[in-house]
Chains A and B, each alone.
Chain A
Amino acid sequence: MSEKITYTAAFEELQLIVNEIETGEISVDQLSQKVRRAAFLIGVCKEKLTTTEADVNQILKELGDD
């Protein structure tokens, strides 16, 4: 996943697409593209649930500054 996206943004965009599709605002022609995007966003969200980018050493370093 090359695109950098926060989970909040991913989540919101996903909700938007789902809502659009659910209310039938998307034509069959656009469907494939939107579904692909939604699948990507679901992947982003799921990955966020199971990984963190926290760095203990960095925190300890910043704490040690006092």
Chain B
Amino acid sequence: MSETIHDKTVFTLLEVAHSIQRTLNERYRSSFWVKAEMNKLNHYSHSGHCYPELLEKKEEKVVAQVRATLWKDDYLRINENFLKTLKEPLKNGINILFQARILFDPVHGLSLRILDIDPSWSLGELEREKQKSMERLKEEQLFFLNKSLPLPLLPQRIAIISVETSKGFADFQKVIDQNPWKYKFFYLLFPSLLQGDKVAEAIVHQLQRIEKVKHHFDVVAIIRGGGGDIGLSGYNRYDLAKSIACFPLPVITGIGHVTNETVAEMVAFKNCITPTELADFLIQQFHNFSIPVNESRKTLIHSVNQQLADTKKEAGRTISLFLKHTTNLISTTRRELLSHARRVKTHSGFYIRNARNQVKLVSRSLRKNTTLLLGASATATSGLKPILKKETAVFFQQLGHEIDIRAKQVSMLDPKNVLARGFSITLFQDKAIRSPHVVRPGDPIKTITFDGIIESTVTTIQPGP
């Protein structure tokens, strides 16, 4: 109970809390339906309970905020309904229509206990617009148009849609300008609103400007950051998503939020969660170019060295093979020569011995034969002696006989004998006259007879018959 201190009625905190609790319980006897934005679900996986953060905003300003309690069993049932209807679980940042009772706890204070949530209501304007945008882009076959563009090998020149003073742009610049690899980028800012109702018109306008000078750029980057998750519904609008999808250069987004991907991000060439990630993505493209170049260099050096080494090795192999073969050939030839030499030596010795033996044999037989021959000769000679004596006697006898005959013939031819038989020789100037023509009448001639000489003179000459 209350007490009085310094003339004041004073309650304990618990008394006040209990009083509030009683009053609320009496006033709010039944449950009721409420619509609010569930900024955070705050699901505790350990206990399975949720403590959602409920908001109401007017013109982007929070005008009401109440904590809620969603017990495990209720959460599981509601979540299943959401999955069925929205094809998504119960999550942060959605508008909900829920049935609630007021709870007051002396320690934890006021909260709304959520009994049920109507999932169809949560689809809401925003979600409906998003779904419609997506469906239409897909029907018109624009959805994947930007994604199908080729990204330049080096996305070096970047048209940036952002706000000069935004944290996201600063983050992006920091990464790009201070990259340690000294990759050189060129970027130009096309300033635009990045959230709220006018975001779609503003971005579309800048895209149109960029399109005029598109030949100066490789990519477009839409960069936002530090703006929280509020006011992004514009990114789900069909007109903005279409401009991005149809843009002739790849559009990369770095919107920087944690809620569901917007349609603009879905149709973009590439969606990065944050501006930093976007900058990293661009640098990565440079790496993708630079690394193969460096690799090429390494590969080149390695391959060339390898090839030279291989060639050298092969030459070495050939040389050693050549050496081996020639050495073999030389040693084989030497061996053969030596073997020939040995054979020559062996055979020549044999021949010499043979020849010597033959010589010996011949000389022996020569000696023997000579003796024999001499013996035989002596025998023959001694046999011949009487024959010789006899034959010689006969020979000389015959010879004496023949000589007698010849002596008779010779004596018959002797001029004395001829002269004796009555023949004479007439001489002129001491030469025998064989023809009457050698003398003339008056010439003195001499006639020799057997027993005297007649001297006369030629009177006539008569030629012979």
Contact = CB atoms under 8 A, between A and B. Distances in A.
A38 B297 CA distance: 8
A12 to B, nearest CB: 9
A34 to B, nearest CB: 9
B188 A28 contact: no
Nearest to B301: A35
A39 to B, nearest CB: 8
Interface string B286-303: 100110110011011001
Given A18-B299, A35-B304, A42 B293 contact: yes
B296 A14 contact: yes
A27 B398 CA distance: 118
Given A7-B289, A31-B304, A38-B296, A59 B216 contact: yes
B293 A11 contact: yes
B157 interface: yes
Interface in B266-297: 286, 289-290, 292-293, 296-297
Nearest to A58: B216
B299 A59 contact: no
A21 B307 CA distance: 9
Contacts of A62: 212-213, 216
Nearest to B297: A42
Nearest to A56: B188
Given A38-B300, A66-B212, A24 B307 contact: yes
B304 A52 contact: no
A43 B149 CA distance: 28
Given A28-B307, A58-B216, A59-B188, A7 B154 contact: yes
Contact of B292 (A15, A21, A28): A15
A54 B212 contact: no
Contact of A49 (B184, B296, B307): B184
A51 interface: yes
Contacts of B289: 7, 11, 45, 49
A63 interface: yes
Interface in A8-41: 8, 11, 14-15, 17-18, 21-22, 24, 26, 28, 31, 35, 38
B309 to A, nearest CB: 11
B18 to A, nearest CB: 70
Given A22-B299, A54-B216, A62-B213, A48 B154 contact: yes
Given A11-B153, A49-B290, A52-B184, A63 B209 contact: yes
Interface in B398-419: none
A50 interface: yes
A26 B304 CA distance: 10
B183 interface: yes
A45 B184 CA distance: 13
Nearest to B156: A52
A46 to B, nearest CB: 7
A8 B289 CA distance: 10
A8 B186 contact: no
Contacts of B156: 48, 52
A14 B293 contact: yes
B176 to A, nearest CB: 12
B213 A63 contact: yes
Interface in B121-166: 153-154, 156-157
A54 B219 CA distance: 13
Contact of A42 (B153, B188, B286, B296): B296
B311 A28 contact: yes
B71 interface: no
A31 B307 CA distance: 9
A31 B155 CA distance: 33
A48 to B, nearest CB: 6
A28 B308 contact: yes
Given A7-B154, A21-B300, A51 B216 contact: no
Contacts of A49: 154, 181-184, 286, 289-290
Residue from A8, A14, A59 whose CB has the most chain B CB atoms within 10 Å? A59
A42 B301 CA distance: 12
A29 B307 CA distance: 11
A50 B184 contact: yes
B29 to A, nearest CB: 66
A66 B212 CA distance: 9
Given A18-B299, A62-B212, A62-B213, 18 more contacts: A7-B154, A11-B153, A15-B292, A18-B303, A21-B299, A35-B300, A35-B304, A42-B293, A42-B297, A46-B290, A49-B183, A49-B286, A49-B289, A50-B183, A50-B184, A52-B157, A54-B186, A59-B216
Ordered nearest first, which 4 A-B pairs have the shortest CB separation? A54-B186, A52-B186, A45-B293, A21-B303
Interface of B: 153-154, 156-157, 181-186, 188, 209, 212-213, 216, 286, 289-290, 292-293, 296-297, 299-300, 303-304, 307-308, 311
